[in-house]
Amino acid sequence: MSKASPQIDNKQIDFSSDAYRNAYSRINGVVVVGEALADRHFRLLAKSIPEDRDVLLRLGAMEGRHAVEFVGCGRNLGIKPDTTLAKKLFAPLHELFLKCDHNNDLPGCLVIQGLIVECFAVAAYKEYLPVADPYAKPITASVLDDEAEHLEYAECWLKARFQEVEATVSCVSSQALPITLSILQNLANDMRTIGMNPVELVAIFSELFQEALENIGYESRLARGLIIRAATSVPLN
């Protein structure tokens, strides 16, 4: 387990300052776009895994609701999410998902959305929760509970087929992890501005993703190696 770093008390944060609002607009944009893409990804998976269609559509609907709720968090602070930047940051990851979907590479799709994106979301919301404004705090806590269910679905699906999907999981992870870490790198200064610690967020994400890989069948050493190689390729400023 990573050792938690000291958190800024949210009572010390000026949620109305221009610096906070500007930084929050970019982070809120990434959250809103990420949740909306997750909705789309789960709907595509529902078409590819018809036996789990109802479950996947339900998970997608949850993600869509999260996007709406986080738009509301921004509105509460009087800001609009910077979705233009967010779409640019997410584009490589979304394109990789669509490539896997086009090739009927279900393991690849589930690695991207079900493991990496969900671990990314859980890590981000865990790090944000202590410094969230009073309106966003209960929403973020509720969303955290939902994301854990989404992660569990992907873990169960991949674990049941681990022997046949291991190579794909490793390959797609090596492509998707650096993209995900580059999104965090681009937002590092904004995260600091709103009271988050980007280094701790990466530590939480790495821990969650290693745990997910081990849950589906990886040895600890191999899981850790995948993450270290990705982190080395995208150093956090």
Residue-by-residue pLDDT tens, the chain, 237 positions: 344 444 555 668 999 999 999 999 999 999 999 999 999 999 999 999 999 999 999 999 999 999 999 999 999 999 999 999 999 999 999 999 999 999 999 999 999 999 999 999 999 999 999 999 999 999 999 999 888 888 899 999 999 999 999 999 999 999 999 999 999 999 999 999 999 999 999 999 999 999 999 999 999 999 999 888 877 766 656
Q: How many CA atoms lie within 13 A of 20 on its CB side?
A: 16
* CB burial string 40-74: b at 16+ within 10 A, e below: bbbbbbbebeeeeeeebbebbebbbebbebbbebb
* Per-position DSSP letters for 157-175, written without gaps between them: HHHTTHHHHHHHHHHHHHH
Question: What six digits make up the tokens of 173?
Answer: 């992870």
Cβ–Cβ under 8 Å, residues 161 and 107: yes
Residue ranges and CATH numbers for the domains of the chain are 14-233 (1.20.1260.10)
